[in-house]
């Protein structure tokens, strides 16, 4: 208003002071949302720093790191270059970063380890010696604690290193090893297993976590590491070389003359000088972190921030509700202000300013809480022994503070837009006569109805299309359509909820209506402010839908994976001995392992089937087969005189189910009846009796075993590994059951994390329920007092609010669960059809938990408002305002 | 149980007392801000009568009513409903008392907006878990002229109609006594007169006991008796008042020293 400056700010502050209590819950909702964002940003920064620290740890306390800056990635430092650099004046020591992988074995146990050169200088080693000495000559090693534990060895013991040696062509030509390699070209050279006895001279620790990913590192002499690498057929050259200087580097820049000297030394041995990159340790670590994480930290942030966005959306609903109530309660004041000359714009701005102030204060609190929480988590984390060296303090980056603040304020102001518009609709006349609170109806409502119906119907259509595409084995396009359809329909559902949710509430209300006067009052109360109730239910609906969708999807994924694993890996555990001679020992060792239901030996040979020669067939006792197979009905198809073939194998052999195929082995010929099986591992299986006819010399080459019901797959697997390892060093154990268990675990962990992240939104929604009830209680003070005056007991009053709370929460949870199961199913069908028939699983237990939590939350949400209401004296009913 | 000696006051009408106050005191605040809203009130209200409590604004009328109805606690003294000393009752007993023995009519009607007139009327019985006496309900509806309004919500009723619904609600449980605090305060004079005559009919025809607080002599004239109150003390008593007598009594309170009786009949 030109000329007249209406004191909007003062008005706003005055209003806020009067409504402080009413704004608190809304503030808490925003604070939780911004705390979530802050924690995410801080955690992202921590992950980044941890990754950088782990990379930097590898460089120990080196002054410089030499790396290659070659766009083609061909340049390496060879030993000559390393020596040349070491010989430079001012260079105290150099250490090329080298790694060799080999299998350490001792008494039937093995440990695959990375071997690194023992340090040439103390400042160049991330490893520290905790016991014994560094390896001094060839054949000595220092081992990390993980190897001490796994192999049960210590300083002074001897262990075996098993490694592959690729003989060079000269040796091969002399006809040293296998028959297969004689005629071969260079690439056909077969590796030869080589064993070396190594003496343990020391035990190392990895204090900075440089080798966290590999469970520590074994230190050997630089010569041994180079020799083993060379014998494996690899070049002995390095991408990075650590340099320790006589005079420690001052400053963060590498002096130009030093850089030139180093590059010159390398160039003198044939390297391109401009390919030599000289950096400080810090600079190199930072650059390599970016190189290695390759934006993965960004993916993590986006993933988690999606959930923060959901939480903030729910908080926004709480804010909208609060401001709508505030505006309604202030109708009289607003009308009076209009009477004395306030413009609509001023009232509008006053509400928005109030929202901005609330948003700023709440977001500040949220950032503080988020920072404190993250710091506390950091302090607690070491006691969980995560094996990762975490920084000890968070660093409050500008982003982690400013971004949540801005987001919090923006969400609050946006959420207050529609209540602010309502405030401008208060007519000056309202000051003179009591009028109903202003609401937004009419055109906006109709437009909303049309748009949300379109979005909902269209979205569900797309979702169905996605599922159909998934069934048609086009999950890629299907997922795209499904995700888009899911998102669009959910937006439609959420935005349209104020229009149809009251009807659901009314229907639910009719059910509880009969249970007494408190319930009847409660139902009537929930229905008198349909929009507010709907918005509150919707807040919970959002969280419940997403949680349900996730657990339904996870249940589907588990189910599909089980089915797939059962048919792909019909056996729980497969053991292949290192050589045919040890098969009997391996068999009895496996038979003795506890937790196995049955085991049987599998024999094999190569035969001609139809007109295809050299096909491997497996043979098993038909009686024993069903016991070791997860699909016994498939196993039962095997009888003497039959051969099991998968659909695909039968097709390529041009036979059909029930047809006959001729099998010819070294010792005989049989006409076998074809039985088509769905179980992949049962392909080309015949009975041992039949195999004996085809190949009299066939011997067992593997053992199949099945877990006892209830046995822990992972435990039994490692028991089997230990038992077979003890009788046969080379035995190989495969555990599809353990894989299945691991897969289930992965699904559960992911589900747990996602549900945990969504829980924040649910918590905010519950605060929303409390907020709505509290606001209603404040609004209804006179009414509560009247009820008390005409005979409502305190208990009945509390019960009334409890029913209101559970009704609001129950409607949100009920509709949310329906939607969630639907979305979960659609997602399963779309994404999992490739894995086989998708079964539409309803995770009843999870759903019961969700409903239970929602109802209890609704109940709990009513406790505080109910206490406030019960304190109201009946005298208040008589008070004249 | 009841050991208080019953001292009948002058000017009492027929019938035994339904409500009694003995040395009833209510003090708000402490020290400087101390307000003696009631400074030792002794008064009896007869059963089956329509009594008005009248006095200037701030004289303690509402406070007296709150204490007599058990809505608020007394600083000292006793209030009896029949033979029950309600100053000794806890919240549970007071709730039971309000359900069965006391009805209220409020200045602002205080109907529940989401219920129809009928639902509002029967609510007290429902809260008490009882069943509505249909004959009594019909009588009330006829007497108060609400037959055509039963399915309307409060928002669809005029002020006078709302107040009549409130009176029916106060009477539905056949309470021993109905308290009304300024029941015509929010009504125009025609609706007010209508409500007052309904209150009087409730007493005359339905045999109810009503105690009404008012500052309006015209309203007080509808009662069988007017108890005058000033500065928290009983200041007079008028039986079968006319508007003129009530007005004269009120004027006397304003001009004369408090606690001087101006009573007598017109
Ligand atoms: N809750 C209260 N706190 C403090 N003083 C009160 C309170 N209620 C009433 N009073 C005081 O007690 C006196 C009597 O009040 P009240 O009974 O409401 O008068 P009336 O109904 O006759 O107008 C007045 O002086 C009033 O200010
Ligand atoms: Mg009063």
Q: Give the domain ranges of chain A.
A: 99-177+188-235, 497-569+737-881, 571-734
CB-nearest to A790 from B66, B124, B185 is B124
The alpha-carbon radius of gyration of chain B (Å, integer) is 18
Q: Are A562 and A740 in contact (CB under 8 A)?
A: yes
CB-nearest to A791 from B72, B113, B124 is B124
Tokens read off for A545: 């839908």
CA distance B246 to B249: 5
Mean pLDDT in residue range B151-172 = 92
Q: Are B209 and B178 in contact (CB under 8 A)?
A: yes
Give the closest-approach CA distance of B95 to chain A in angstroms: 5
pLDDT for the residue numbered A362:
95
Tokens read off for A839: 């079964």
Q: Is B124 on the interface with A (CB under 8 A)?
A: yes
| Rounded-to-10 torsion of CA A536, A537, A543, A545 | -160
Dihedral of alpha carbons A221, A227, A232, A238, sign: positive
The alpha-carbon radius of gyration of chain A (Å, integer) is 36
- The answer, yes or no, to whether residue A433 has pLDDT greater than 60, is no
CA distance A864 to A874: 19
pLDDT for the residue numbered B133:
93
Strand partners, A676: A645
Q: Residue A620 — φ and ψ, nearest 5°?
A: -150, 155
Residue B101: CB partners within 8 Å, gap ≥ 6? B81, B82, B175, B176, B177
Question: What confidence category does residue A290 fall into, taking pLDDT thresholds of 50, 70 and 90?
Answer: confident
Pairing of strands A140-143, A100-106: unpaired
Give the closest-approach CA distance of B116 to chain A in angstroms: 11
**Cα A749 to Cα A212, A737, A755, A829, distances in angstroms:** 21, 18, 10, 22
Ligand 1 site, residue B57, Cβ cutoff 6 A: yes
Q: Ligand 1 centroid to B38 CA: how many Å?
A: 9
3-state secondary structure of A593: coil
Residue B112: CB partners within 8 Å, gap ≥ 6? A521, A524, A783, A786, A787, B119, B120, B123, B154
pLDDT for the residue numbered A569:
66
Q: Are B261 and B68 in contact (CB under 8 A)?
A: no
* Contact list, B106 vs chain A (CB under 8 Å): 786, 789, 877-878
- The answer, yes or no, to whether residue A179 has pLDDT greater than 70, is no
Question: What confidence category does residue A774 fall into, taking pLDDT thresholds of 50, 70 and 90?
Answer: confident
Cβ–Cβ gap A791/B95 under 8 Å: yes
pLDDT for the residue numbered A444:
59
Ligand 1 site, residue B230, Cβ cutoff 6 A: no
Which ligand has the minimum distance to the alpha carbon of residue B228?
Answer: 1
A243 exposed, middle or buried (CB, 10 Å; 0-12, 13-18, 19+)? buried
* A376-390, A799-813, B126-140: least confidently modelled range: A376-390
| Rounded-to-10 torsion of CA A198, A199, A203, A209 | -20
CA distance A486 to A492: 10
Cβ–Cβ gap A794/B128 under 8 Å: no
Q: Comparing C-alpha atoms, which of A277, A236, A250, A241 is closest to residue A121? A: A241
pLDDT for the residue numbered A623:
86
pLDDT in tens, A217-263: 899 998 899 889 888 877 888 888 888 888 887 777 888 888 888 88
Top mutation candidate among B34, B37, B185, B216 for ligand 1, by most atoms within 8 Å of CB: B37
Q: Residue A572 — φ and ψ, nearest 5°?
A: -75, -40
Cβ–Cβ gap A790/B104 under 8 Å: yes
CB-nearest to A786 from B110, B128, B185 is B110
CA distance A242 to A798: 72
Question: What confidence category does residue B265 fall into, taking pLDDT thresholds of 50, 70 and 90?
Answer: very low
Ligand 1 site, residue B62, Cβ cutoff 6 A: yes
Q: Which residues surround ligand 2, an ion (CB under 5 A)?
A: B 62
Mean pLDDT in residue range A425-442 = 56
Cβ–Cβ gap B108/A782 under 8 Å: yes
3-state secondary structure of A103: strand
Cβ–Cβ gap B71/A527 under 8 Å: no
Is the pTM of the predicted complex or chain greater than 0.90?
no
- The answer, yes or no, to whether residue B85 has pLDDT greater than 70, is yes
Residue A372: CB partners within 8 Å, gap ≥ 6? none
CA distance A702 to A683: 15
Percent over 90 (pLDDT), chain A:
15
| Rounded-to-10 torsion of CA A805, A811, A813, A818 | 170
* Contact list, B71 vs chain A (CB under 8 Å): 789, 873-875, 878
Q: Is A791 on the interface with B (CB under 8 A)?
A: yes
Would residue A110 be called left, alpha or beta, if left means φ above 0 and alpha means ψ between -120 and 50 degrees? beta
pLDDT in tens, A110-123: 778 889 998 888 88
Q: Comparing C-alpha atoms, which of A97, A122, A91 is closest to residue A210? A: A97
A to B CB pairs, distance under 8 Å: 77
The C-alpha angle with vertex A767 and arms to A762 and A771, in degrees rounded to 5, equals: 145
* Contact list, A520 vs chain B (CB under 8 Å): 126
Question: What confidence category does residue A443 fall into, taking pLDDT thresholds of 50, 70 and 90?
Answer: low
* Contact list, B211 vs chain A (CB under 8 Å): none
**10 Å Cβ neighbour count for B143?**
17
* Contact list, B98 vs chain A (CB under 8 Å): 788-791, 874
Ligand 1 site, residue B33, Cβ cutoff 6 A: no
Nearest CA in chain B to A874: B71
Cβ–Cβ gap B106/A786 under 8 Å: yes
Ligand 1 site, residue B122, Cβ cutoff 6 A: no
pLDDT for the residue numbered A183:
42
Residue A445: CB partners within 8 Å, gap ≥ 6? A499
Q: Is B95 on the interface with A (CB under 8 A)?
A: yes
Give the closest-approach CA distance of B10 to chain A in angstroms: 31
Closest protein CA for atom 13 of ligand 1: B37
Interface test with B, best of A433, A878, A879 (most B CBs within 10 A): A878
Which ligand has the minimum distance to the alpha carbon of residue A880?
Answer: 2
Q: Ligand 2 centroid to B37 CA: how many Å?
A: 11
**10 Å Cβ neighbour count for B177?**
21
Q: Which domains does chain B have, with CATH numbers?
A: 9-260 (3.40.50.300)
CB-nearest to B62 from A783, A873, A878 is A878
Top mutation candidate among B36, B58, B72 for ligand 1, by most atoms within 8 Å of CB: B58
Question: What confidence category does residue A573 fall into, taking pLDDT thresholds of 50, 70 and 90?
Answer: confident
Tokens read off for B184: 């015509």
Q: Ligand 2 centroid to B213 CA: how many Å?
A: 8
Residue with tokens 């200088």: A121
pLDDT in tens, A138-162: 999 999 988 888 888 889 999 988 8
């Amino acid at each position: 208003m030109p000329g007249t400056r209406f004191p909007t700010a003062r008005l706003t502050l005055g209003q806020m002071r009067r409504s402080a209590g009413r704004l608190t819950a809304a503030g808490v909702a925003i604070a939780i949302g911004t705390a979530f964002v802050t924690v995410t940003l801080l955690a992202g920064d921590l992950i980044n720093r941890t990754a950088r620290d782990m990379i930097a740890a590898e460089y120990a306390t080196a002054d410089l790191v030499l790396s290659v800056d070659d766009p083609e990635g061909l340049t390496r430092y060879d030993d000559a270059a390393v020596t040349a650099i070491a010989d430079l004046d001012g260079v105290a020591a150099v250490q090329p970063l080298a790694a060799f992988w080999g299998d350490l074995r001792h008494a039937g146990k093995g440990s695959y380890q990375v071997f690194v050169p023992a340090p040439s200088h103390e400042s160049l080693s991330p490893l520290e010696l905790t016991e014994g000495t560094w390896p001094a000559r060839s054949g000595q090693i220092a081992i990390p604690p993980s190897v001490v534990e796994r192999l049960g060895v210590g300083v002074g013991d001897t262990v075996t290193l098993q490694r592959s040696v690729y003989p060079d062509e000269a040796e091969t030509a002399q006809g040293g090893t296998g028959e297969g390699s004689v005629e071969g070209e260079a690439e056909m050279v077969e590796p030869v297993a080589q064993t070396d006895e190594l003496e343990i001279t020391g035990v190392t620790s990895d204090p900075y976590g440089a080798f966290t990913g590999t469970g520590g590192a074994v230190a050997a002499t630089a010569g041994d590491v180079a020799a083993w690498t060379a014998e494996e057929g690899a070049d002995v050259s390095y991408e990075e070389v650590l340099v320790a200087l006589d005079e420690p580097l001052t400053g963060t820049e590498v002096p130009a003359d030093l850089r030139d000297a180093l590059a010159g030394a390398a160039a003198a041995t044939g390297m391109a000088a401009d390919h030599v990159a000289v950096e400080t340790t810090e600079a190199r670590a930072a650059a390599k972190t970016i190189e290695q994480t390759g934006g993965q930290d960004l993916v993590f942030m986006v993933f988690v921030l999606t959930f923060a966005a959901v939480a903030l959306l729910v908080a926004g609903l709480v804010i909208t509700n609060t401001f709508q109530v505030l505006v309604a309660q202030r109708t009289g004041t607003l009308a009076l202000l209009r009477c004395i000359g306030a413009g609509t714009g001023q009232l509008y701005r006053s509400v928005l300013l109030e929202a901005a102030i609330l948003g700023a204060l709440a977001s500040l609190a949220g950032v503080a809480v988020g920072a404190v929480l993250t710091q506390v988590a950091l302090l607690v984390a070491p006691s969980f022994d995560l094996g990762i060296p975490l920084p000890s303090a968070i660093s409050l980056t500008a982003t982690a503070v400013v971004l949540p603040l801005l987001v919090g304020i923006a969400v609050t102001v946006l959420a207050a837009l529609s209540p602010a518009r309502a405030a401008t609709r208060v007519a000056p006349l309202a000051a003179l006569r009591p009028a109903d609170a202003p609401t937004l109806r009419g055109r906006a409502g109709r437009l909303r109805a049309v748009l949300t119906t379109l979005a909902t119907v269209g979205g569900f259509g797309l979702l169905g299309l996605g599922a159909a595409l998934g069934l048609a084995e086009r999950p890629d396009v299907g997922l795209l359509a499904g995700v888009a359809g899911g998102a669009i329909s959910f937006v439609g559902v959420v935005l349209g909820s104020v229009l149809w949710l009251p009807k659901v509430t009314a229907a639910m209300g009719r059910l509880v209506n009969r249970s007494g006067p408190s319930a009847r009052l409660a139902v009537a109360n929930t229905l008198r402010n349909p929009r507010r109730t709907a918005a509150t239910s919707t807040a919970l609906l959002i969280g419940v839908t997403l949680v349900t969708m996730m657990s339904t999807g996870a249940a589907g994924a588990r189910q599909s994976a089980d089915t797939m694993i059962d048919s792909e890996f019909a056996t729980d555990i497969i053991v292949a001995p290192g050589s045919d001679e040890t098969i009997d020992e391996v068999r009895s060792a496996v038979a003795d392992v506890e937790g196995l239901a049955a085991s049987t030996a599998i024999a094999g040979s190569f035969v001609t089937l139809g007109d295809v020669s050299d096909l491997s067939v497996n043979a098993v006792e038909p009686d024993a087969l069903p016991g070791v197979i997860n699909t016994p009905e498939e196993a039962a198809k095997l009888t003497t005189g039959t051969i099991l073939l998968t659909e695909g194998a039968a097709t390529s052999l041009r036979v059909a189910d029930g047809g006959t195929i001729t099998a010819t082995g070294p010792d005989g010929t049989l006409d076998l009846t074809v039985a088509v099986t769905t179980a992949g591992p049962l392909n080309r299986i015949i009975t041992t009796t039949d195999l004996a006819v085809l190949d009299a010399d066939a011997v067992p080459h593997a053992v199949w075993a099945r877990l006892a019901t209830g046995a822990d797959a992972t435990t039994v697997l490692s028991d089997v590994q230990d038992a077979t390892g003890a009788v046969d060093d080379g035995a190989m154990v495969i555990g599809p059951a353990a894989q299945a268990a691991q897969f289930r675990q992965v699904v559960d962990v992911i589900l747990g994390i996602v549900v945990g992240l969504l829980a924040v939104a649910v918590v905010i929604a519950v605060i929303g329920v409390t907020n709505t009830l509290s606001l209603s209680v404040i609004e209804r003070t006179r009414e509560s007092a009247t009820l008390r005056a005409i005979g409502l007991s305190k208990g009945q009053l509390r019960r009334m609010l409890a029913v209101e709370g559970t009704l609001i929460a129950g409607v949100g949870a009920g509709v949310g669960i329906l939607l969630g199961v639907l979305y979960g199913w659609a997602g399963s069908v779309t994404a999992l059809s490739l894995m086989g028939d998708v079964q539409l699983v309803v995770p009843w237990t999870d759903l019961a938990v969700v409903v239970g939590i929602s109802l209890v939350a609704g109940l709990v949400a009513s406790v505080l408002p109910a206490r406030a209401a019960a304190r109201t004296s009946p005298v208040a009913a008589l008070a004249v305002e | 149980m009841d050991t208080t000696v019953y001292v009948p006051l002058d000017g009492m009408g027929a019938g035994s007392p339904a409500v009694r106050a003995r040395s009833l005191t209510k003090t708000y605040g402490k020290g400087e801000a101390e307000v003696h809203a009631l400074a030792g009130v002794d008064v009896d209200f007869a059963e089956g009568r329509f009594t008005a409590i009248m006095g200037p604004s701030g004289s303690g009328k509402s406070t007296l009513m709150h204490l007599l109805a058990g809505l608020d606690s007394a600083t000292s003294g006793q209030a009896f409903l029949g033979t029950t000393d309600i100053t000794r009752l806890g919240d549970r007993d007071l709730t039971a008392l309000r359900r069965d023995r006391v009805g209220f009519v409020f200045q602002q009607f205080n109907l529940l907006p989401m219920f129809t007139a009928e639902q509002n009327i029967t609510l007290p019985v429902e809260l008490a878990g009882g069943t509505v006496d249909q004959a009594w309900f019909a009588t009330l509806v006829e007497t108060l002229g609400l037959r055509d309004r039963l399915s309307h919500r409060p928002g669809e009723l005029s002020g006078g109609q709302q107040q009549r619904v409130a009176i029916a609600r106060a009477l539905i449980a056949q309470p021993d006594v109905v308290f009304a605090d300024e029941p015509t305060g929010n009504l125009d004079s025609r609706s007010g007169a209508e409500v007052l005559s309904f209150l009087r009919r409730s007493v005359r025809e339905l045999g109810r006991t009503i105690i009404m607080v008012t500052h309006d002599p015209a309203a007080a004239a509808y009662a069988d008796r007017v108890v005058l109150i000033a500065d928290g003390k009983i200041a007079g008593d008028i039986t079968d008042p006319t508007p003129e007598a009530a007005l004269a009594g009120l004027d006397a309170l304003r001009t004369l020293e408090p606690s001087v009786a101006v009573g007598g009949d017109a």
